[in-house]
Chains A and B, each alone.
Chain A
Amino acid sequence: MEEKLLKILKELRPEVDFTRETRLIDEDILDSFDIIALVGELNDTFDIQIGPEHLLPENFNTLSCILDLVRKLQAEG
């Protein structure tokens, strides 16, 4: 799952090192257009439904936060 996610992120923003960044939202590395594009890909790839209520900095600041969100939503089914 991590590899798939990294591939999506790399495609979205090739210049960002997602394995190192810890403040993707707080430092505006990902802007709101990136977030919407990312959510679209995540929904399609992992068959989940990310809603506006999930779009919080703590869910998108790091690679592992995004992974946690995807896992949580998959578990909720």
Chain B
Amino acid sequence: MPVATFSFLLFISATLLVYFTVPRRSQWIVLLVASYVFYASAGVKQLLFLVLTTIISFSAGFLLAGVKNKNKKKFILASALVLDFGLLVFLKYYNFAASGINALLAGTGFALPVFKLLLPLGISFYIFQSAGYVIDVYRGKYPPERNIARFALFVSFFPQIIQGPISRYDRLAPQLSASHEPDFDRLKYGIQLMLWGYLKKIIIADRAAVLVNTVFADYMNYPGSIAALAVLFYCIQIYCDFSGGIDIIRGIAQMMGIDMVENFRRPYFATSLADFWRRWHISLGGWMRDYLFFPLSLSRPFYRLGKRTRRLFPGKLGKIIPTSLASFIVFFVIGIWHGASFKYMAFGLYNGNIISFSIIAAPYFTAFLEKIRIDPQGLPWRIVQIISTNFIVFIGRYFTRGPSLMAALRMLKRTVFSFNMQALRDGTFRTLGLSGFDLFLIVAGCFIIFLVGFYQEAGVEVRKALERKNWLVQWALVMAALAVLVFFGIYREGYIASEFIYQQY
């Protein structure tokens, strides 16, 4: 049941109706049933992996609570993580590895079987969420859940299971169990947030996708300028697709009285690549920080490495090397998390290299700026930083959207060596699937998002500011948004909007 369909809206309405009519103490059961119905609608077979992950993580938490011995605890934690992530790794990377091995051993008669593996909806999101829970219980952050049905709801909560945000148990589970009265303001805010998300997704992302798909499907036949335009449109598409989807998810939860974590904080206003990743897919970044970056940086091998680097390079450099190595590893993992392909490895290496290098170079660079009398906190320098960060992100997108690593490199090469500015003016644009009006909608949409982002960056709470306006203005805005959605939304195959990019991860 794709989120941008009428059947999904009907499903939400029915769920809300039942949710607010049953006795308050049973509300969580309504959510659990709705979550499983929603998930089963994507394919009953996929339920197997969800149930398995739930049982593994719940049992691990339960066992950890009863054990005092440190080694036994470690064993339980390791087993749960191997089982949980083993499932993910097998489904995601087995075929990639098997085809690689088969290619190496071609001619020897030995060949590993290659299966038709379909990645279950949102599997990495619920596995990350459950694994975080097990690690937290192991660390003694909170006691384990004793009721498997309540835990099953934490893992499967239906709006978030599609593409996150990756929630933490201590923040989400109490809200799922609590009683919630219908609240007019929350319903209103929720609907507003959903509308905003749908506008991003159906008006901008799905429209930009038309141009992106056309160019990338036939990338060798376009000059560098069109390739660059397609990558720029992809930057717009992926932001509006992913953050729009998260807005819809958070809006639904908000109507139910549940606050989910923010996943985006205006990433295109970031002043460095590290800052960008703190603002983009925040819940994944937070997960990686708490469960990979911190343990890695504080592990014994890294401690020993730190001692050695401090001896070899006295001063700041020696202290920074282990941290930048750890962050490099994190980015590599995030890269391959996106999929089993060399292009994602390259994407991880690209980000990891730039961030590690900038950590090491930062003190020297600040000293250089002081020397040439540029204020690193001043507005002009901030604008330069924002533009250069966006440029770095833009280059990285060649890798994530390119059909393969080679294709991405070829497109990059064309952008640099055969740009051909003329192609932007000679009518080629009109062959890319978008009309002038489509382009107007995308540009206008991006401008509105930029304006809202600009005010939010300045500390203005846009929704609250709108609330102080006349009720007529407020209703007119909501009606205008609905009209835009109905008349200008991109609907395919008889009113079925396309699915989200991130739900495949």
**Contact call B278/A28, Cβ cutoff below 8 A:** yes
B263 lies within 8 A of chain A by Cβ: no
Do A39 and B298 touch across chains, with their CB atoms under 8 A apart?
yes
By beta carbon, the residue of chain A nearest B377 is A15
Is B297 at the interface (CB under 8 A from chain A)? Answer: yes
Which of A1-9, A16-24, A46-54, A65-73 has 4 or more CB atoms under 8 Å from chain B? A46-54
List, in ascending order, chain A residues with CB within 8 A of B359's CB. 33
How many CB-defined contacts (below 8 Å) exist between A and B?
36
Q: A53 and B141 in contact (CB under 8 A), knowing A36-B298, A40-B306? A: yes
A46 to chain B, nearest CB (A): 15
Q: Which residues of A contact B306 (CB under 8 A)?
A: 40
What size tier do the contact residues of chain B reach? Answer: 10 to 19
Instruction: Please give the distance in Å from B353's CB to the nearest CB on chain A.
Output: 16
The reply on B86 being an interface residue by CB < 8 A is no
- Cα–Cα distance between A39 and B290 once the two chains are bound (Å): 14
Measured in the bound complex, the distance between the Cα atoms of B326 and A32 in whole Å is 11
Inter-chain contacts of B298 with A (CB < 8 A)? 36, 39, 50-52, 55
The answer, yes or no, to whether A37 is at the interface (CB within 8 Å) is yes
A40 contact set on B, CB distance < 8 A: 306, 319
Q: Given A53-B139, A53-B140, are A32 and B289 also a contact pair (CB < 8 Å)?
A: yes
* B360-373 to A contact mask, C-beta < 8 Å, 1/0: 00000000000000
CB of B293 closer than 8 Å to a CB of A: yes
- CB atoms of B290 and A37 under 8 A apart: no
Task: Tell me which residues across on chain B come within 8 A of A37, comparing CB atoms.
Answer: 319-320, 323
> For residue B139, which residues in chain A have a CB less than 8 angstroms away from its CB?
52-53
Closest partner residue, chain B, to A39 (CB atom): B298
Known contacts A28-B278, A32-B289, A40-B306; is-contact A52 B294 (Cβ 8 Å): yes
Tell whether A36 pairs with B297 under 8 Å between CB atoms, given A28-B278, A52-B290, A55-B290: yes
What separation, in Å, do the CA atoms of A5 and B381 have in the docked complex? 33
Is the Cβ of B141 less than 8 Å from the Cβ of A56?
yes
Q: Which residues of A contact B320 (CB under 8 A)?
A: 33, 37
Shortest A21–chain B CB gap in Å is: 18
Quick check: A33 and B141 within 8 Å, CB to CB?
Answer: no
Encode contact with A along B254-269: 1 for CB under 8 Å, 0 otherwise. 0000000000000000
- Cβ of B293: which chain A residues have Cβ within 8 Å of it? 32
Most buried by B among A50, A51, A52: A52
- Flag A25-38 by CB within 8 Å of B: 1 or 0 each: 00010011101110
Q: From A31, A32, A53, name the one whose CB has the most chain B CB atoms within 10 angstroms.
A: A32
Residues 285-314 of chain B, each 1 if its beta carbon lies under 8 Å from chain A, else 0: 000011001110110000000100000000
Does B141 contact A36, Cβ atoms closer than 8 Å?
A: no
| CA of A28 to CA of B290, assembled, Å | 15
Complex formed: what's the CA distance from A31 to B274 in Å?
10
Give Cα A31 to B289, complex, Å: 10
Q: How far is the CA of A50 from the CA of B295 in the complex (A)?
A: 11
Please pick, from A28, A36, A50, A56, the residue contacting B323 in the complex, using a CB distance under 8 A: A36
User: Which chain B residues border A52 with CB–CB below 8 Å?
Assistant: 139, 290, 294-295, 298
Q: Tell me the bound Cα distance from A55 to B289 in angstroms.
A: 10
B140: chain A residues at CB < 8 Å are 53
B496 CB, min distance to chain A CBs, angstroms: 40
Q: In the bound complex, what is the Cα–Cα distance between A37 and B359 (angstroms)?
A: 12
| Contact in complex: B141, A55 (CB < 8 Å) | no
For B298, B319, B323, B326, which residue has the most chain A Cβ atoms within 10 angstroms?
A: B298
How many Å lie between the Cα of A53 and that of B327 in the bound state?
Answer: 19
Q: Which residue of A lies closest to B302 (CB)?
A: A36
**For residue B298, which residue of chain A has the nearest CB?**
A52
* Nearest Cβ on chain B to A7's Cβ, whole angstroms: 16
Q: A37-B319, A40-B319, A55-B294 given. 17 additional CB < 8 A pairs?
A: A28-B278, A31-B274, A31-B278, A32-B294, A33-B323, A35-B294, A36-B297, A36-B298, A37-B320, A40-B306, A50-B298, A52-B294, A52-B295, A53-B139, A53-B140, A55-B290, A56-B141
B interface residues, Cβ below 8 angstroms from A: 139-141, 274, 278, 289-290, 293-295, 297-298, 306, 319-320, 323, 326-327, 359
- For this complex, 12 residue pairs linking A to B, each with C-beta atoms less than 8 Å apart, are A31-B278, A32-B294, A33-B327, A36-B294, A36-B297, A36-B323, A37-B320, A39-B298, A52-B295, A53-B140, A55-B294, A55-B298
* 4 nearest CB pairs, A to B: A53-B139, A52-B295, A52-B294, A36-B297
